[in-house]
Amino acid sequence: MTLLQARGLVRSYGPTPALRGVDLEVAEGEILAVTGPSGCGKSTLLHCLAGILRPDEGEVLYGGQRLGTLSEADRSRLRRTAFGVLFQFGQLVAELSAAENVALPLLLAGKGRREARAAALEWLERLDAADVADARPGEMSGGQQQRCAAARALVTGPKVLFADEPTGALDALAGERLLGQLTRVAHERRTSVVLVTHDASVAAYADREVALRDGAVDPSGLGLDMPTTV
């Protein structure tokens, strides 16, 4: 079943077109890699799909509902409840422990402290980061920080996780560990993942790959021309 769909997305920054008419479907529970060289429009596409950036033309549908027809408040609620985001690095609040960081979205959603902490610890455990629950980001390795950021993105139980070069700042081993945990959790919980990467070894974790080139889907499907390190 299609959960997320893009139809004819066009988006420019000033005179520069970043997306030139992208059609895309993401099925429920599917891990989709969006690949292609730097500057081809991957991040712009991800931001449009996640309802963060408004396309100039075309539309994004979530569960058949057009994001553009929702009120700002409803779009914002959808982002908080149905979507999770994981970026390359540095999204954790430096003053808070790992567990407090992961609990934050639940506290903002009105959950009680005890319940939020229990869920945070459970998610840190699931992402193989329980050992750093009481550490602050500055005391954690890059890999630990990203697994913690992943726990925070997933703690609200999103239907779609948007991950933009999530291993971009990690060494190969830490990257494999993060992707292994992420894909396992996504398959277990039927969470769809849109995984943006320029790296073939990262895309290999996905169920399917869509290659972008110059803001359009590359019909040859071969968007990967970069050297491969995770």
Residues found near ligand ADP in the complex (CB under 6 A): 13, 16, 18, 36, 38-44, 51-55, 60, 67-68, 72, 75
Task: Report the residue number, 38 or 220, with the smaller CB distance to ligand ADP.
Answer: 38
**Token pair for 135:** 């550490």
Task: Report the residue number, 51 or 166, with the smaller CB distance to ligand ADP.
Answer: 51
Task: Report the residue number, 72 or 110, with the smaller CB distance to ligand ADP.
Answer: 72
Task: Report the residue number, 36 or 137, with the smaller CB distance to ligand ADP.
Answer: 36
d(CA 86, CA 154): 9
Give least dist CB 96 to ligand ADP, A: 26
Give the contacts of 24 (CB within 8 A, at least 6 positions apart). Answer: 5, 6, 9, 32, 34, 45, 49, 210, 217
Give least dist CB 206 to ligand ADP, A: 16
Give least dist CB 75 to ligand ADP, A: 5
Amino acid at 209: E
Comparing C-alpha atoms, which of 150, 153, 209 is closest to residue 181? 150
Q: What is the DSSP letter of 220?
A: T
Give least dist CB 130 to ligand ADP, A: 33
**Token pair for 217:** 């889907």
Q: Say if residues 122 and 99 touch (Cβ distance below 8 Å).
A: no
Task: Report the residue number, 18 or 140, with the smaller CB distance to ligand ADP.
Answer: 18
Listed in sequence order, the DSSP H helices in 65-141 are: 72-82, 98-108, 113-126
**Token pair for 122:** 């459970």
Task: Report the residue number, 144 or 197, with the smaller CB distance to ligand ADP.
Answer: 197
